[in-house]
Amino acid sequence: MTIATTEKRLNIFPDPPQMFAQAAQHAATLLRAAQQQGRPAFLALAGGNTPRRLYQQLCRLPAEQAPAWSRVRFFFGDERAVPADHPDANYRMAQENLFLPLDISASQIHRIRTELPPEEAVADYQQQLLGLPQHDGWPCFDLVLLGMGNDGHIASLFPHSPLLADDRRSFTSGEVTQLATRRYSLTLPVLNHARQLMLLVTGQDKATTVQQAIVDTDPATPLPVQKLNPANLAWYMDSTAASQLTDGTPV
Ligand code: 6PG
């Protein structure tokens, strides 16, 4: 029985600009490495506010450091149950901060089609995910970008949620009690079969959750983020988010 060994790396920076600059370099390196295998690079984007600054940084990479953007296939880790052009849509945030600035063609973008009835949207996205390389029968992303909520949720996998427990499908949807609304999300097995996960966490309001997640202060109630065990997991944090791990001085 092989035990998944996770290479967990904590990358802590004095401030968000330095963190996003380094995370962008790392993401570009991973995508270029995938492309050097003679295939497109497969990337799953995160939602929420934090990744917006990473996308802006990716757009500023000098050509010699950037991947061949025309050979990246863009997917989404999760989506809200809103139209694609809704202010809350993760798709719209990516469109404004990444796809338009980089002139990404529509054929490279795999949008979660929230305009369909939920189960059709899930089936449609599962079909789109079949286009990825497979690892142990699961779609295998070269890189999955994630944020983390104050409750330790990742993508739209919230504590005690049936979406978090759904380990039979690659993509899922359902009502999220904490939000009283529907969400769409990649499932935990897909996240854990990625070649690399990058967790982007900034701000003092995340510090307690970071400490619980990393120091595992409450093993009886693991947070969703603690269920991540891909081959490679890289935390990218600023010193405020990491302030309860150390005295706040960047390593
Ligand atoms: C979403 C995200 C969600 C987000 C966290 C952190 O659709 O909201 O997928 O998982 O990454 O809630 O959000 P912030 O970056 O805004 O703190």
pLDDT per residue as tens digits for the range 209-242:
999 999 977 788 899 999 999 999 999 999 999 9
Share of the chain above pLDDT 90, in %: 91
Determine the distance separating the centroid of ligand 1 and the alpha carbon of 65, expressed in angstroms.
Answer: 27
Q: What is the pLDDT of residues 88-117, one digit of tens each?
A: 999 999 999 999 999 999 999 999 999 999
Mean pLDDT taken over the chain = 94
pTM of the model: 0.95
Share of the chain above pLDDT 70, in %: 95
Determine the distance separating the centroid of ligand 1 and the alpha carbon of 175, expressed in angstroms.
Answer: 16
Q: Which of 45, 49, 54, 179, when mutated, tests ligand 1's pocket best, judged by the most ligand atoms within 8 Å of its CB?
A: 49
Report whether pLDDT(202) > 50.
yes
Report whether pLDDT(5) > 60.
no
The average pLDDT across 69-81 equals: 98
Q: Which residue has the higher pLDDT, 226 or 249?
A: 226
> Is 49 touching ligand 1 by the criterion CB < 6 Å?
yes
Q: Which of 78, 204, 210, when mutated, tests ligand 1's pocket best, judged by the most ligand atoms within 8 Å of its CB?
A: 78
Report whether pLDDT(83) > 80.
yes
Report whether pLDDT(40) > 90.
yes
Residues in the chain: 251
Residue 8 is which amino acid? K
pLDDT band for position 250 (50/70/90)? very low
The average pLDDT across 34-43 equals: 98
> Angle between the 50-59 and 16-35 helix axes, to the nearest 10 degrees?
60
What pLDDT score does 6 carry? 66
CB proximity list for 174: less than 8 A, separation 6 or greater: 161, 162, 163, 166, 182, 183
> Is 47 touching ligand 1 by the criterion CB < 6 Å?
yes
Report whether pLDDT(2) > 50.
no
CB proximity list for 85: less than 8 A, separation 6 or greater: 92
Report whether pLDDT(3) > 50.
no
Q: Which atom of ligand 1 is nearest to the CA of 77?
A: 9
The average pLDDT across 28-52 equals: 98
Say how far apart CA 172 and CA 191 lie, in whole Å: 13
Two tokens, residue 195: 């070649």
Determine the distance separating the centroid of ligand 1 and the alpha carbon of 139, expressed in angstroms.
Answer: 22
Two tokens, residue 125: 């996205």
- Determine how many CB atoms are found less than 10 A away from the CB of residue 126: 14
Query: Is the CB of residue 91 less than 8 Å from the CB of residue 112?
Result: yes
